[in-house]
């Protein structure tokens, strides 16, 4: 099978000849592995099956002050500690400008659209499954604009303010989803961290009130356009898996083993949902041994990967504190299936 055929079989809950993989690195982890291998291009040798280009990355970011990067919404991110994304350090939307604060144009950045189009044109030659989407889609977009505390207070005390803001974000998202689905992509991805280590940040009731109806519109548009649907939400969010399945979700990431048992999730939902991730970045890769890594990765491939429905990957972009020898052990197992 080709890598692309493996992805499609996995999505259809059929057993591929080998489990497709997807490995991403933070900047710090990439630098450590380049030094470990003595090869700055080592990542090109990993048999990743996906090419994803998100609509909120690339040329739309600009460095406005040393280590302070602004996105297209005007949100500023301090990257002095987190070198990959950063920490929000300004406020764009307040209760006084919910309706009037300018948002970006509905049309996605033309340069990004052209890059996605080139990926689509080359996907068969490069043997890749091509996707696009949003790294901050609804809840995350709202709190990065207005502040986490403000969003949570509006949920509890002034819900109409949050509804107004979310409706503006939804309108923008729907226009961009429509534009990207006109391309020959295979899937659309939404990032939106709803979880913490012991449950949903806002709880299931508020999630269903504020986010589910709007997500249903976004997800429904993707499915009507014939694309696979992938989402990313860190944290303990499995209590809403039935909601997500009912809304048409195909692939859930990051599948964190620290907050959900991958083997139990496969037993409960594996006939209706595919999982992407599952290799521990909080415990196993930083603190385990190479033998422990090999044992755990093989078990995931054998048990969660049985009958399709699993994409082998770290639960997040590999952090800088992961041991290079553990990353190497993981890659050995994935390459030698």
Helices (H) and strands (E) in the chain, counts: 13, 13
pLDDT tens digits, 34-55: 999 999 999 999 989 998 888 8
pLDDT band at 148 (very low <50, low <70, confident <90, very high): very high
Over 233-289, what HEC string results? CCCCCHHHHHHHHHCCCCEEECCCCCCCCHHHHHHHHCCCCEEEEEECCCCHHHHCC
Whole-model pTM?
0.94
pLDDT band at 8 (very low <50, low <70, confident <90, very high): very high
DSSP 42: G
pLDDT tens digits, 229-283: 999 999 999 999 999 999 999 999 999 999 999 999 999 999 999 999 999 999 9
Q: What is residue 77's three-state secondary structure? A: strand
Instruction: Check whether 58 has a pLDDT greater than 60.
Output: no
Give residue limits of the domains in the chain.
Answer: 3-59+92-335
Cα-Cα-Cα-Cα torsion 202, 204, 210, 211, nearest 10 degrees, comes to 100
pLDDT tens digits, 170-224: 999 999 999 999 999 999 999 999 999 999 999 999 999 999 999 999 999 999 9
Q: What kind of architecture, by CATH, is found in domain 3-59+92-335? A: Alpha-Beta Barrel (3.20)
């Amino acid at each position: 099978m080709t890598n692309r055929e493996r992805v499609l079989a996995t999505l259809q809950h059929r057993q591929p000849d080998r489990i497709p993989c997807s490995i991403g690195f933070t900047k710090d982890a990439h630098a450590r592995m380049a030094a470990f291998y003595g090869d700055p291009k080592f990542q090109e040798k990993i048999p990743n099956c996906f090419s994803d280009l998100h609509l909120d990355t690339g040329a739309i970011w600009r460095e406005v002050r040393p280590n302070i990067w602004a996105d297209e919404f005007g949100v500023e991110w301090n990257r002095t500690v987190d070198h990959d994304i950063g920490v929000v350090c300004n406020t764009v939307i307040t209760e006084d400008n919910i309706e009037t604060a300018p948002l970006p144009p509905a049309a996605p950045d033309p340069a990004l659209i052209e890059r996605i189009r080139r990926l689509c044109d080359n996907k068969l030659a490069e043997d890749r499954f091509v996707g696009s989407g949003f790294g901050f889609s609804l809840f995350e977009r709202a709190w990065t604009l207005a502040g986490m505390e403000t969003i949570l207070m509006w949920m509890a005390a002034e819900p109409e303010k949050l509804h107004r803001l979310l409706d503006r974000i939804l309108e923008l998202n729907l226009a961009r989803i429509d534009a990207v689905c006109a391309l020959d992509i295979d899937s659309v991805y939404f990032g939106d961290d709803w979880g913490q280590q012991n449950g949903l940040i806002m709880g299931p009731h508020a999630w269903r009130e504020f986010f589910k109806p709007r997500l249903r519109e976004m997800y429904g548009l993707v499915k009507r356009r014939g694309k696979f649907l992938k989402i990313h939400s860190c944290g303990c969010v499995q209590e809403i898996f039935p909601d997500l399945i009912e809304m048409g979700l195909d692939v859930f990431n990051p599948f964190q083993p620290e907050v959900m048992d991958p083997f139990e999730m496969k037993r409960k939902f594996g006939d209706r949902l595919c999982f992407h991730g599952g290799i521990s970045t909080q415990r196993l890769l930083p603190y385990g041994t190479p033998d422990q890594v090999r044992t755990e990765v093989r078990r995931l491939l054998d048990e969660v990967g049985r009958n399709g429905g699993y994409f082998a990957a770290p639960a997040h972009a590999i952090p800088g504190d992961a041991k290079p020898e553990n990353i190497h052990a993981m890659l050995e197992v994935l390459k030698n299936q």
